[in-house]
Structure 1
């Protein structure tokens, strides 16, 4: 399960309240702390490894990140990561077509 899904048209679906644990990361760790599911919000993007993510998906993702930041002011830019970062070798998403530069740029301007 995940907290949110953003489809290719940018539509947002929420599956789990953000104050509850979702099971999106599985066996994982961030900064040496295991079980990322305990302290994270999982945002899934509909996609595959051959089709770039859409502008609508990025717009919705940035809106969700903005709302999460308002609700949780202690979110730090370096904590916005993909499954590939918390479960390397086991998970590959969002993958090489995801524009991390765009997210890092947004985070530096908003959260830095």
Structure 2
């Protein structure tokens, strides 16, 4: 599966091919808001498509020249927008290590939740995230319960997302593994 059904697809230029013979085996949950703590600005989309105005907000000056993407974003409304086909390598994890293996972008799918570390996510976001995740794990059988993690788990000390308000129990309880449809 490249594209998630029922999701808007907006192509990002910030992706490339996964290494030869690499299989998707990890799902990484992130959070993002631009500016920090503000929602619905459209700037996440602009960041992931390389069209963000770095003069639009003082905190954006550090974004100049940044090339970053995720496979998809789950907005506060529950809308899901996909930016990179799932079989391609999105640029979301940065310097990262999972179970002693580096370069997580090579084998991971990245999902951004519109939000921040200090606020709960919405019910609509959880519903959409659970639906998208179920489609992903049904299509990529190497993604097991233990291979769905937060950005903080692979970039320890460097990243904190999805943050303490992300309800891992609620999320994981709703998923079904081994239910090929």
TM-score w.r.t. structure 1 length?
0.93
RMSD (CA atoms): 1.2
Q: Output aligned runs, 1:48-87, within 5 Å.
A: 48-87=116-155
User: Which has the higher Rg, Structure 1 or Structure 2?
Assistant: 2
Q: Output aligned runs, 1:28-47, within 5 Å.
A: 28-47=96-115
Runs of at least 4 residues of structure 1 off by over 6 A?
none
CA contact (8 A) 2:75 2:113 kept: yes
Q: Which structure carries more strand by proportion?
A: 2
Partner secondary structure for residue 81 of structure 1: strand
List runs of 5+ in structure 1 lacking aligned partners.
none
Q: Distance in 2 between matches of 1:77 and 1:48?
A: 24
**More relative contact order, 1 or 2 (CA 8 Å, 6+ apart):** 2
Aligned length: 110
CA deviation vs aligned residue, 1:52-99 (integer Å, no higher than 9, x gap): 100000000000111101211232100000101010111110000000
TM-score w.r.t. structure 2 length?
0.58
